[in-house]
Structure 1
Amino acid sequence: MALVSFDAQIRKPIIRLKDGINRLRDAEYAKAVYLGGSREFRDLGGVLNQMGEKLAEREASREEQKRRLEEMVAIRTAELKSLVDKLEIGEENRKPLMADISHELRTPLAITLGEADVTLRTAGKLSEELSDSLARIRESAKHTNQIVDDMLTVARYEAGQLRLDRTETDLRKIMHDAVSMLPKAVQIKIPDAPVMARVDEVRLRQSILALSQNARRYGGLTVSVELLDGETGHIIAVEDDGPGLNAAEKSQAFDRF
């Protein structure tokens, strides 16, 4: 009789308690825990069931929060994608627009420059003040025309419309032409013999001129342009004796502007 009582009142409730705790650990909250046995075990079973209910409510709340968060993320992702799409469309529209604007600006600038040149040819019949004024107009038009040309080049490149006119050209001539456009002397180091390459003369001269102007503006007092032979072709190196770029500046060296 004592063994039967021990089995019913203690051993089996302990086994059920272990099973109940395992179910709670595995997040199985639906099935209630019934321990049986003495009043203490029954009270303990009630506590476990209350704990299971609380955990089930918390789990349900967590799932609801997760669902809402996923919905919010999906909505925000869709909004962001829509915004990115609009920006991409706007950017694609901007590229040909900039090319068109730059192209259209060239016509009035060419007219202004041409009219100033024609009028200045009769400078002997004009007052000195008027001649100086026309000369300034001509120089301003030339400067603005150069800026517009640069804008047009960038716009065409971004729009995928930039075409290179490659011809067999002596690189030494291009370097001389670029250096001659600078206001201050630049050292030029080139071979004695012609160095022929199939390049776009205008674009290459423009690149050398831009690098040389940057070196003159932001580098040291001495600027040199050198033509070298590389492993797979020719190298045009623009060098100055300034302090150079730090690590942060190097990472931005090829960014626009």
Structure 2
Amino acid sequence: MTLRYRLTFISVAFMTLGLLILGLTLYSAERAILLNGVRDDLVRATNQIQSQYAEAKKPLERYFSGTSVSLLPVPNEDFEGSPISVAVYYPNGVRLASTPSFMGEGPTLDSTELASALEKNSVISTKPSSYGRTMQVVSPLTFDHTVVGVLVASQSLRTVDRALDTLSLVFLIAGSLTVVLMFLGISQITKRGLRPIDMIANTAEQIVRAEDLSRRIAVANPHDELGRLATITNDLLARMEGLFNTQKRLTADVSHELRTPLAAMRGNLEVLRRGAMRNPELLNESLSDLEREVARLNRLVNDLLFLAQTEAGVQMRSEPVELDTLILEVFRELRPLAEHVKLQIGSEDQATVIGDRDRLKQAMLNLAYNAIQHTPEGGAVTLSLERVGREVALRVQDTGEGIPPDILPNIFQRFYRADKSRVRKGGGAGIGLAIVKWITDAHRGTIEVRSNVGEGSLFTLWLPLAPATDRLITGQLRESPSQPLPIVK
């Protein structure tokens, strides 16, 4: 059963239960009102007869002579078709007199009612008859505070029963029609209300079948719950589309990045096999090329591994790091890869920070290698280290083609790549600068970029000095980094 019909049946069931409770309540109230009216008429009739007999001050036989009782008319405006019948009995239960009965039947008196009346107690009861139920009131008839007889007043409940039956029939017919109308109405309401969910399901099904994440759900009312659901689903689809496209681009980029060094390595191995082993100059050249391509592969694999670790959460070490020594190591590792680009060291101050040495070295390697990749032959890449106030600046400056202003805000995004035609040796996978930004943030630092198209770029990585050399910052105690750096996700 669909959600629409489940909601419809549940709603109709609850409303039917409400109608049933309402109908039973009204029926019970109306029944009580009608029966109380009959009872009040009977009590009023017996009180009237009691009053007349008391005023007459006559013996029972003289006042009620024969079988006809001379009574004043008993008002019965509510039920004109059901007159009140009255009968008088001796204390021994023998009828003395009675009024004309309703449809030929008069009041009856059993031994229990007689005994109760002789004890000066009134009894109100409902009894069956050949023409339906009757209600009667049995009360003592007294003379000088002595029970001299029993007075019985009765009235048929046929009119009351007919009224209650009619009311039940009206409730049954009206309730049935109401339930049917409610079912149809709620079914249409739920159909319209669940239409956005149907659209979401249909869109998801189309996406699965066509593998097209560009489809979106039309939002009729973005302010209600279903509209918000549709909006959130569209946002989810947009994010999935972005991740899917990123994955496709990453797969293509990584394949390209791996294919290039592997092809170079294969070519050098082929050269070695053809006789380069006997030529020392050619052998050294081939081994240098192999070493360079292996380093390139190793760097790419490390970047991808580190990127995966950042998703799961990686614990950063907290230890003193001498940046002057670190920058020299970066210089030595990248010098064989610079080829026709001049790699040099500028200013080199002594500075110590607290952090993860391997991660900081990885950030500098990525910055410097990125600069080499974007610097044409004959250009220069300069690494420098300067202490500026209470911070240290790690700078990588190149004389490459520069970064256009429209691209500059996006260069630290994961898998973002500029136009490959602007890169001398082919674009990277777009993760190097994202890793630099992550490492900088993890060390409570900042990174700045200045670039002019055709002139080059300057990347500056700002880090706080170690507490031993800089304890105060703007008059406040710097947060001690002796504790482990946080896990950054």
TM-score w.r.t. structure 2 length?
A: 0.27
More helix by share: 1
More strand per residue: 1 or 2? 2
Q: TM-score, normalised by structure 1?
A: 0.47
State which structure, 1 or 2, has the greater radius of gyration over its C-alpha atoms: 2
